Amino acid sequence: MKRLSCLLAALAVLCLAAGAQAKTYVNGIDANYPPFAYVSEDGKPAGFDVDSMNWIAKHMGFEVVHQPMDWDGIIPALLNKKIDMVCSGMSVSPERAAVVAFSDPYYTIQKVILVPANSPIATADAAIRGEIKLGVQRGTNEHELLETRKAQEKLKYDLRFYDSAPLAVEDLLNGRIDAIALDSAPAKDAISKGKAVKIVGTFAEDDVFGVALRKDDKELIGIINEGYKKLMADPYWKELQDKYLK
């Protein structure tokens, strides 16, 4: 009888452990959006957002897997439940907020114009109003904004679309385009890596980044918001900014 009691107790412990197993969420990321999210040389997801969400997962009691994917298909993937969140430098916009929920904002970023270091283009306004080949990452807020402005203001730039900001930078350096419209973080990342480029100004109001989630996933929205509150109150938040955003 004693042996049976011990066996039943052991089985109960195993059942409790299985029930308490941490839930796993999949975070969709842009595979080439440094310094917020990218795939490192060793093939592993890395970046400010990746490290932030890893910390939040650890302290909020869940597991997270980072899934690189094409940016222009990332919201459909979220809505179709192929992923559970997008923590990857996503700007909050009215168009996106109509179909997904966003966490509380965690970062403010500028929209800038990047040109070659020896470019005669001196200001962002000169670029926007010139007859130039203007690069932009497809599926971004910049993409939507520039197409709208071109139609409404009858602007003359020729939009060229890219899968990532770094790919656009390479075409900029090779003379295939004259300028790029992008977020300030990847622009500064290119400069910090020694690329012969410069920022000539902003072309729109600042954006804020938030984590995109499905509107009906109320529990996860609350978990992510609480996780960011804890992270921002921890010294690790400054360490992350010093590591990736300086």
User: How far is Cα 34 from Cα 54, in angstroms, rounded to an integer?
Assistant: 17
State residue 2's pLDDT score.
47
Segment 75-90, tens digit of pLDDT? 999 999 999 999 999 9
Shortest CA distance to 180 belongs to which of 196, 195, 166? 166
User: How far is Cα 203 from Cα 90, in angstroms, rounded to an integer?
Assistant: 18
Residue 15 has pLDDT above 50, yes or no: no
| CA-based torsion, 206, 138, 33, 25: positive or negative | positive
Look at strands 37-39 and 32-33 and give their pairing.
antiparallel
Segment 151-177, tens digit of pLDDT? 999 999 999 999 999 999 999 999 999
Ordered domains of the chain (ranges, CATH): 21-108+209-244 (3.40.190.10), 111-205 (3.40.190.10)
- Confidence category of residue 3, pLDDT binned at 50, 70, 90: low
pLDDT: which is higher, 35 or 3: 35
Residue 27 has pLDDT above 80, yes or no: yes
Residue 185 has pLDDT above 80, yes or no: yes
* Cis previous bond, 235, omega within 30: no
The SS3 assignment for 245 reads coil
Give pTM, 2 decimals: 0.84
Segment 194-235, tens digit of pLDDT? 999 999 999 999 999 999 999 999 999 999 999 999 999 999
- Confidence category of residue 7, pLDDT binned at 50, 70, 90: very low
- Confidence category of residue 246, pLDDT binned at 50, 70, 90: confident
pLDDT: which is higher, 64 or 139: 64
- The mean predicted confidence, pLDDT, of the chain is 92
Mean pLDDT, rounded, for 6-12: 49
Q: What contacts 172, CB < 8 A, 6 or more positions away? A: 114, 115, 116, 135, 178, 179, 180, 197
Residue 17 has pLDDT above 50, yes or no: no
Q: What contacts 211, CB < 8 A, 6 or more positions away? A: 53, 85, 86, 87, 90, 102, 103, 106, 224
